[in-house]
Structure 1
Amino acid sequence: MEKDYDLGELQLDSLLATKSKIDKRFVLTGLEILKHKNKDEKFKQVLQNLDNETLEFLCNKPVLSSAATKLERCKSFNYEADNPALQLQLIKMYINDQISRSGNMDAIITTYKLTKEEVVYGKDNMSTDAENRKQLKEIFAKYGFPTRKMVGEDAMQGIFFIIQHADADKEWQQAQLPKVENAVKKGDMDGQRYAYLYDRIKINSGEKQLYGTQFAKVDPVNKVAELALTEDLENLDKRRMGMGMMPIETYKVIMLKSVSK
């Protein structure tokens, strides 16, 4: 387990060293690891160097439960969504998307004062995806593509995953790519979301991916993590860096670790 924490800290260090915009969730995981390892000074140093957007995402997370009260910058953030009813609907969809894939959503369920019994569809991931996709299409028809201000950070994450997992409706999935790109440009989603969706669409179409997010084979026993067909491998890390993503070799190690659990 400690090796996993060491690897996670290495991941955080590699991302911070890029000086590019980093996915907020990687920062969150990194801070959780630093807290677990009692690296208080490094924890504080990372916090001090964060941009406002990332700090806003972190200030209401449990990892900052004590530190947030001491940070003046945290006091200025408003976490209330403009449309709380829509936010809650999307959160429930997000929870189902992840639970149908054996994801742990206890923190989200607790944050939004929900219970699994009142939320979970109890369906396999294909049926869950179909139900979520149906609801999301209705939401888009009624509201357009939601914004972070409208529904909050977690709900936007849910929207991304539902689109990312819409392989059964590839035409619709592909039509969402410009919307995700626009959401990234407006700061409503992280750049990584665009990279993951772009690659998935390309691989689904039999073309080469650009950012190295999709794998043809992950074999932890033989320690093989083989990328799906990828454009211009020589400059892959440069493209990943531009999206705030870790170097590909570090990502391969993370993938092997996650699959072996």
Structure 2
Amino acid sequence: MKKTLIFLFLGLISCNSTKVISNSEKENIISELNYIFNIDQKYAGGPFDYLFKKHEKKEAWKIFEMMRDSVGLENQKKIKKIYSKYGYLGYDKIGKEYSRKFWITIQHADNDIKFQQKMLKELAKEIDKNNAERSNYAMLEDRIAINLNQKQRFGSQITYNKSGQAIPKNGLIDSLNVDNLRIKYNLPPFKEYYNSMTTDHFEMNKDYFIKQGMKEPKLYE
């Protein structure tokens, strides 16, 4: 009896990975992914202005992070439900735009590393079939590494030093060959990306850096 149940369960997983999505199902999924993506991006930045007006900075951030975590958990539930029914949504099932919108919640599921690791394996299968964006794989792998307090391969996850310069969070596994990897996975060159992020960070915090005696961002040469 146990063997039969195991066989049926594995069969269901296999069917999900090749399940054909009807037009009506596709419309529902697209609507769901648009909602998930839009609310994810709404909470991707910092606290809303009204929070700063009502609370001190530290309290505003605390409240905002609680709101963001709640939204993230709800999004994860929806994505997991979609995955359990249809498998990983690659280009062939939902198109490039919505495949990425499916991925973004997985990328932000930092509270569930096992889920991220499972999705990384699924994403690898889609990459092998040219059925998903290679940069998504690189960023998810790096995200998992950071969540496990490990070094990154691609350097997609950044933090900033005291000078406001973007640096790879936790460091790189192989800094000499990082650009070769980045090119292979459709990521911009290291200096180009890190200088862009450094410049943006400087502009967002310009008053602070000017007070520190910095008139321009510290870029990689």
TM-score (norm 1): 0.57
Kindly indicate whether the alpha-carbon contact (under 8 Å) linking 1:184 and 1:191 is maintained by their aligned counterparts in 2.
Answer: yes
| C-alpha deviation, 1:235, in angstroms | 0.8
- Greater RCO (CA < 8 Å, at least 6 residues apart): 1
Residue from 127, 130, 133 that aligns with 1:190: 133
Runs of 4+ that moved beyond 3 A: none
Counterpart position of 1:230: 172
1:215 aligned to 2:150?
no
Q: Rate the CA distance shift 1:154–1:238 in 2: closer, same or farther, 3 A.
A: same
Q: Which amino acid aligns with 1:181?
A: A
| 1:239–1:253 distance in 2 versus 1, CA, 3 Å | same
3-state DSSP class of the match of 2:177? helix
Amino acid at match of 1:226: I
Name the CA distance, whole Å, in 2 between partners of 1:200 and 1:159: 16
Cα RMSD for the two superposed structures: 2.2
1:111 corresponds to which residue? none
Letter in 2 for 1:147: G
Which residue of 1 is the match for residue 15 of structure 2?
none
Q: Distance in 2 between matches of 1:138 and 1:226?
A: 36
Which one of the candidate residues 192, 202, 205 is aligned to 2:145? 202
Identity of aligned residues (%): 27
Residues of 2 paired with 1:97 and 1:247: CA distance? 27
| Conserved 8 A contact 1:164-1:197 | yes
CA distance in structure 2 between the aligned counterparts of 1:206 and 1:256, rounded to whole angstroms: 23
| Aligned amino acid, residue 242 of structure 1 | K
* AA of the residue aligned to 1:182: K
**What are structure 2's unaligned runs of at least 5 residues?**
1-22, 47-65, 205-221
Which residue number in structure 2 is paired with residue 164 of structure 1?
A: 107
CA displacement, residues 115-140 of structure 1 (integer Å, 9 cap, x when unaligned): xxxxxxxx832111100000111111
- 1:243 CA drift (Å): 1.0
Equivalent residue runs for 1:28-177 within 5 Å: 83-102=26-45, 124-177=67-120
**Contact between 1:82 and 1:151, CA under 8 Å: does it hold in 2?**
no
Confirm or deny: 8 A CA contact 1:91 1:154 kept in the other structure: no
Deviation digits for residues 147-177 of structure 1 (CA, Å, limit 9, x no counterpart):
3233232221111110010001111111110
In the TM superposition, what is the alpha-carbon distance from 1:223 to its structure 2 partner? 4.2
> Quick one: distance in 1 between partners of 2:24 and 2:93?
5
Unaligned residue ranges in structure 1 (runs of 5+): 1-79, 104-122
The number of aligned residues is 161
Quote the offset at 1:218 in angstroms.
5.6
Taking the aligned partners of 1:91 and 1:184, their CA distance within structure 2 comes to: 23
Q: Give the residue type in structure 2 aligned to 1:155.
A: Y
Q: 1:81 to 1:164 in 2, by over 3 A?
A: farther
Q: 1:246 deviation in Å?
A: 1.3
Q: CA deviation at 1:231?
A: 0.7
**2:159 alignment partner, SS class:** strand
